[in-house]
Structure 1
């Protein structure tokens, strides 16, 4: 890997927190896709009340895993079950470090007996690539980056997501009938506009729908066919301002801090291999919650709700430590529904689209009880929704808490310093907040 490395950056900054901390973060938006088509508020409403088309082709990394040891490598480096993992099935890949804390998650699609593709942020992909090299697996891992650095880069796949209450009607109109019966997170081969590709039953905002994945060379005729079919159902294309806010309704925390900063020889060697200019070195860390210890930002898979994805029926890196964390006292993922008046007072009535990974303090009677992990403004709900991790005694729906909104300056300022930041009242609600995502999303 080229220099400077992540470890070089940490050494220069003085710590991992100092490297990543900022009090002037910028919101992330997907590259290439237009910011808005009909307006971010209308686009948000579409996946809740109508039907939406999301173009996911440009903002995710793909890593292709093939070779005689592909399955063995994945089984030994992740917490997932591979005994009942069928071809054309996808999983939420869960990878932990040797202490059981989350390195990251991604979508893993099995395309053949020893043929997989990992899609998402490069955190997990880099970790697996390094581990494969160190452990000598007979496996090939090749990565295709997102388009954030080079908008002219042509990705290998198109990815179109159609979702919302009218998604099924649109799909049946486009394809001339229902698609093959497909279980959740399984894919079927389908044909549209003379092009054959995969239809993965999946949805990002908790609404029913499909993600269509195919050769990027075929993206234009497939998209045009979907849009023609969508005209009678009021299809809305979703731009880069609205799209990232979908996660707040669906309950997925998009970028937890990876547990790769421990002071161990093995992790230091990994950071010396990993380039500095990756999300793990350059993604801003900010918010009213501040700690000089990067481990205070770590999470476990159980805190993020990934318990159902974990299998202890095989040995894997971090297995025993993760098992010990299963029954340990831990925080719980909830949705915080913020008081609309307090939001307007803190951010201004004309704040526009909001999506932020800021770690804001969640307090009860002035005492720290948790942190926000992802916050976005949802126009259909008229306020901000925040995915947060809170202590067990604050996790019951209806519990009232306070979010301290703003950015701690970091550095030598005390973590609990009173900075006079705005307070936003919030009510704890279930996660996912979207009822379909919570009750009907994975019925099969």
Structure 2
């Protein structure tokens, strides 16, 4: 058991605020920016996400040994959502793995340190470097029109999670098709030295199509609507417990020089998840670890090879306890919480609209009929749906859309209240990102 109290935000340790390298908090105003992926398109800057480049004859073996995924059909030019777990089947690391060559991979993730540590510990024949690239996400109904104006590369034949290369203002760029807002989207990657030049080109190409630039105040709302659980925000990566002392020592002694000027040289050198907040009052931090099954990633698991956590995940797959849903918070209750600042009586914890600006795993108890049935995480306000939503992990028997539950709101030892909530699907927003673009003539207009 690892004492959870030391990880509670403010009383245990200070939470990590959204850091300046993530960009401005707002550009055209968070409410305006939130409408972009529904009505037009946006550009978001995710260049701060760390990555590692792994080359060598054991590169594929390293990822296969650590990850739950199937690597049988993983050609050059493809990307994969890769998940790594501890022996209990709880997620340590998850992110995008790109295959650039037979023995050449790039892992872009909040916690690539775990792969580096295991490459060293396992004696794998690989070379690991720490490149820094620009990563601009363009997504929304008009994203393709922007891309046509931005580059001469034909992107209509690029399938979901595939890459293609082209140029922007004479600079080489890799286009990765994805869509973090649940809409068709591309991520534009290249040398960090071209950051400003490429960003200016994107904004110029997008100005006739209503493009907005996302600020940090609304960064995570599309993750919320589209159901992208994110380490450090919606769950604690399984790297905080006392069993990881050897790993902590390794990172202290082997911090990459490239990370010295970044947040990953400070409190995030071991783990993107550093604190939690909310009404959850458990004693063991491991209770905030999540399995890929409860986060909706069970389809990624391939029991065709050995990997950490395989036995635990086989047992859970046969009898899953919890699953991911979206909770709709009752709007009258949220108004009451905001009004407590001005009314007589207790003042309740506030939601910093549209969501709190800390990298902290907000976790509230979900209860029904007096029983604790799950966790509501990192709530946020959706301007499009005009609701406070929460990606939540709930007992399977209570996961049917329309189920009424209660969320306990407020820190332990402070004023608490109950919020009525309704179970809804996850993703909450319709997912259109995998569309076959070759069957949409005239889409680039």
Q: TM-score, normalised by structure 1?
A: 0.84
Find the aligned partners of 2:273 and 2:375 in 1 and give their Cα distance.
Answer: 21
Would you say 1:390 and 2:394 are equivalent positions?
Answer: yes
SS in 2 for 1:241: helix
Find the aligned partners of 1:35 and 1:262 in 2 and give their Cα distance.
Answer: 32
Correspondence list, 1:30-429, <5 A: 30-32=19-21, 33-57=23-47, 59-122=48-111, 125-143=112-130, 156-175=132-151, 178-255=154-231, 256-260=235-239, 267-275=244-252, 277-278=267-268, 280=271, 283-348=274-339, 351-355=352-356, 357-409=361-413, 420-429=415-424
Q: In 2, are the aligned partners of 1:337 and 1:385 still within 8 Å (CA)? A: yes
Find the aligned partners of 2:153 and 2:65 in 1 and give their Cα distance.
Answer: 42
Q: In 1, are the aligned partners of 2:152 and 2:167 still within 8 Å (CA)? A: no
Task: Write out per-residue CA displacement over residues 288-329 of structure 1, whole angstroms, 9 at most, x where no aligned residue.
Answer: 011112222221111111112111222223323322221123
Runs of 4+ in structure 1 off by over 6 angstroms are none
SS in 2 for 1:280: coil
Task: Write out per-residue CA displacement over residues 2-51 of structure 1, whole angstroms, 9 at most, x where no aligned residue.
Answer: xxxxxxxxxxxx94413212356657425331111110110011112111
CA separation of 1:60/1:248 partners in 2, compared to 1, >3 Å: closer, same or farther? same
SS in 1 for 2:217: coil
Cα drift, residue 83 of structure 1? 1.4
SS in 1 for 2:202: helix
* Aligned match of 1:412: none
Cα drift, residue 161 of structure 1? 0.9
Cα drift, residue 443 of structure 1? 5.3
Cα drift, residue 191 of structure 1? 1.7
Q: In 2, are the aligned partners of 1:346 and 1:424 still within 8 Å (CA)? A: no
Cα drift, residue 164 of structure 1? 0.9
* Aligned match of 1:21: 8
Find the aligned partners of 1:79 and 1:404 in 2 and give their Cα distance.
Answer: 34
CA separation of 1:337/1:105 partners in 2, compared to 1, >3 Å: closer, same or farther? same
Count of residues in correspondence between the two structures: 403
Find the aligned partners of 2:44 and 2:122 in 1 and give their Cα distance.
Answer: 39
SS in 1 for 2:379: strand
Find the aligned partners of 1:281 and 1:43 in 2 and give their Cα distance.
Answer: 26
* Aligned match of 2:440: none
Provide structure 1 residue ranges, at least 5 long, that are not aligned to the other structure.
Answer: 1-13, 145-155, 410-418
Find the aligned partners of 2:384 and 2:361 in 1 and give their Cα distance.
Answer: 21
* Aligned match of 1:11: none
Q: In 2, are the aligned partners of 1:253 and 1:373 still within 8 Å (CA)? A: no
CA separation of 1:50/1:443 partners in 2, compared to 1, >3 Å: closer, same or farther? closer
Alignment root-mean-square deviation, CA: 2.4
SS in 1 for 2:20: coil
> Which of 254-263 and 192-201 deviates more?
254-263
Cα drift, residue 333 of structure 1? 0.1
Cα drift, residue 167 of structure 1? 0.9
SS in 2 for 1:82: coil
Cα drift, residue 245 of structure 1? 2.2
Q: In 2, are the aligned partners of 1:287 and 1:405 still within 8 Å (CA)? A: yes
Cα drift, residue 95 of structure 1? 0.4
Cα drift, residue 176 of structure 1? 5.2
Q: TM-score, normalised by structure 2?
A: 0.84
